[in-house]
Amino acid sequence: MAELKVGTAVDQRKLSSVLEIFRLMPESGSRFPNYVAGQYIALRRDRCRLTKRVVGPEGVVRYVPDLDDFGQPKLGPVTHSYSIASAPFETLEHGYLEFYVVLEKSDDGTLGRLSSSFFDMSPPGDGKVTYVNRITGNFTLEKTASGLGSVLLVGTGTGVAPFVSMIKQLHHEASRGSVSPAQYTLLHTNRTFEELAYHQELLDIEASQRFDFVYVASVSRPTERDVRDPRLGQGRANNLLRHIFGMPVKEEEDVAAAIARGADLARAQAALAKAVAPALPRHVSRADLLKRLDPSRSMLLTCGNASSMEDIKHVADTHRIPFEKEDW
């Protein structure tokens, strides 16, 4: 078993109340193992608010805070694996690993055990993070898309992390004369513009055109400012992908399915009423994207929200595009 080491979180940057980026420096006198873009590492914090499993009426499972005899949260170690957002060349040059994390919350407001601890690291909090001194995973371009002419990367929320690592590494290698022959298209969505981590960096990489890369960013809760931004689209990732392939949005499909089953339409119609109509950034066209995404030469990789990835797989399967996902 790989040994445990203790690193230090630095350069924390909060994008919103529920999203942040931080860098982790290795244990003093050591360095992180070499890795490939798209891989992950296990992180641990030792004083996390623990939860316990509760089975409610009708067998519904919930996780609620685990309290001691005085009504205070019990604390203990929690370990979870996180995709690395930094590129391998950055770690070699600067020593750190970078992570893009979300503050998880259950439906009743219970905070995620480990993710809430990350958000408590800001001074004067404890910035120590234990890590398993091994980086692994098969969600890499070499393992999933080797030899293909076109690779579509779809990242929702913090699920863009492995793709940021890939794109930055491809850009770095291209700047040194090793240009990948494949086309890469990154579709990245989040709720708001402020939460679109790495947005400007990805725009800059696209503009440099050191390799064949198109960046398609969108927000699911667009403001007036967002609608005016020619480099920003609107809608959730799965619906934007549906739009590219000429499919109805998921919520329209759900209403049609409910009608076919004779089911209650209220919930499906309410979801459709709230859905944001998908729109591409104005610097890319649907026709151009379809040319890039020929199913006979393409691969779709996705990471992020589980329900979105399920629908993204449906789109991929419908158009016979090979599909791989990374989730925890």
Is 109 in a helix, a strand, or coil? coil
What's the rounded Cα separation, in Å, for the pair 114 and 102? 10
First to last CA, the chain: 21
- pLDDT digit string (tens) for 155-191? 999 999 999 999 999 999 999 999 999 999 999 999 9
Per-residue model confidence as pLDDT tens digits over 248-279: 999 999 898 889 888 888 888 988 889 999 99
Q: Indicate the residue type of 310.
A: E
CA distances 130 to 34, 175, 316, Å, are 18, 34, 38
- Separation of alpha carbons 247 and 28, rounded Å: 53
51, two tokens: 């939860």
Looking at residue 298, what is its pLDDT?
Answer: 95
**pLDDT on residue 222:** 94
Q: Provide CATH 3.40.50.80 ranges for the chain.
A: 141-326
Contact 278, 242 (CB under 8 A): yes
Q: Which architecture, in CATH terms, is 4-136?
A: Beta Barrel (2.40)
pLDDT tens, 57-88?
777 777 777 788 888 888 889 899 999 999 99
Strands 19-25, 4-14: pairing kind: antiparallel
- Dihedral of CA atoms 166, 167, 171, 177 in degrees, nearest 10, equals 50
Largest CA distance in the chain: 66
The whole-angstrom separation of Cα 238 and Cα 201 is: 23
Q: Could you tell me the fold of the domain covering 141-326? A: Rossmann fold (3.40.50)
Q: In this predicted structure, what is the pLDDT of residue 242? A: 96
DSSP string, 162-183: HHHHHHHHHHHHHHTT---SSE
pLDDT tens profile 96-105: 999 999 988 7
pTM value is: 0.92
Phi/psi of residue 81, nearest 5 degrees: -90, 140
Q: How many residues does the chain have?
A: 328
CA gap 182, 233 in Å, rounded = 24
Residue ranges of the chain that CATH labels 2.40.30.10: 4-136
Cα 237 from Cα 243, distance rounded (Å): 10
